């Protein structure tokens, strides 16, 4: 039953990512974290999202802006290693609490994460954005809500943003998986759930890319916020019980 729920969540969140360009990976992570410890849920989500973003980047390959992808990738791996080290050193319930609070921030105060500059963002600034992406990907498990405004600032149009963000996240998730593998995570032990999730995200990417421009962003945002909030409070509740006991 757990695998079925994760597969369905992967399908639905991949459609969301294809339509909005972000958010699906974070939502999928929170679902997986209901069944696995954070230090296991994060690389599992990374394996699934690697396929999700890879399929989306392939389908939209002609729209990728490769220069921003290159700049943002320079510090991804060392930042991912640092993040994995922090995540595995923290108590599980403390990591759950951090994930839950981060999710609530994304759902209810997204303006705090947005690029507010009036000038055009220099592409070289994406070196630092990539470092932040690598660290967040390996600690709270997702970085899209933080880094996506910067990719929007250097791409021309929504479709180019979705394609470029997906290509960047392919490298980010590959770095995250490698970092956790170096810290004794065994991807072979979780191929079943990753395979189920990967099947769901490929199907979701195919459906979502064909729905671009046809779905109301307001409805997507309302659904996204509602589901994220419910799952975040469940994570926070679990962590509070664990830390109290």
pLDDT of residue 83: 92
Query: Which pTM was predicted?
Result: 0.83
Contact status, residue 99 vs residue 235, Cβ threshold 8 Å: yes
Name the DSSP letter for residue 120. Answer: P
* pLDDT (0 to 100) of residue 79: 95
Distance CA 15, CA 20 (A): 9
What pLDDT is recorded for position 14? 77
Give whole-number Cα distances, 192 to 11, 35, 120, in Å. Answer: 16, 14, 44
Domains held by the chain: number:
1
Q: What is the CA radius of gyration of the chain?
A: 17
Render each residue's pLDDT in the chain as its tens digit; 245 residues: 678 888 888 888 778 766 765 567 788 888 898 889 888 999 999 998 898 788 878 888 999 999 999 999 999 999 999 999 998 888 888 888 888 888 888 778 776 666 555 556 778 888 998 998 899 889 888 787 778 778 888 888 878 888 898 899 899 999 999 999 998 888 889 999 999 998 988 888 788 777 766 666 677 677 777 877 887 888 888 887 777 76
Domain range for 193 is 2-244
Could you tell me the two tokens for 164? 């470029």
């Amino acid at each position: 039953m757990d695998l079925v729920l994760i597969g369905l969540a992967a399908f639905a969140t991949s459609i969301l990512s294809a339509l909005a360009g972000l958010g699906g990976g974070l939502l999928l992570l929170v679902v997986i974290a209901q069944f696995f410890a954070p230090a296991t849920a994060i690389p599992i989500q990374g394996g699934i999202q690697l396929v999700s973003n890879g399929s989306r980047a392939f389908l939209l390959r002609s729209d990728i802006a490769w220069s921003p992808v290159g700049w943002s990738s320079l510090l991804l791996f060392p930042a991912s290693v640092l993040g994995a080290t922090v995540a595995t050193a923290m108590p599980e319930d403390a990591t759950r609490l951090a994930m839950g609070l981060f999710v609530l921030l994304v759902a209810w105060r997204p303006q705090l994460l947005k690029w507010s500059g009036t000038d055009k963002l220099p592409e070289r600034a994406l070196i630092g954005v990539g470092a932040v992406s690598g660290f967040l990907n390996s600690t709270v498990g997702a970085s899209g809500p933080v880094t996506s405004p910067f990719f929007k600032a250097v791409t021309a149009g929504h479709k180019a943003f979705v394609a470029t963000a997906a290509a960047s996240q392919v490298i980010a998730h590959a770095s995250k998986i490698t970092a956790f593998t170096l810290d004794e995570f065994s991807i072979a032990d979780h191929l079943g759930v990753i395979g189920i999730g990967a099947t769901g995200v490929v199907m979701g990417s195919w459906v979502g890319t064909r729905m671009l421009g046809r779905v109301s962003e307001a409805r997507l945002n309302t659904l996204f916020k509602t589901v994220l909030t419910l799952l975040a409070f469940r994570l926070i509740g679990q962590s509070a019980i664990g830390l109290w006991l």
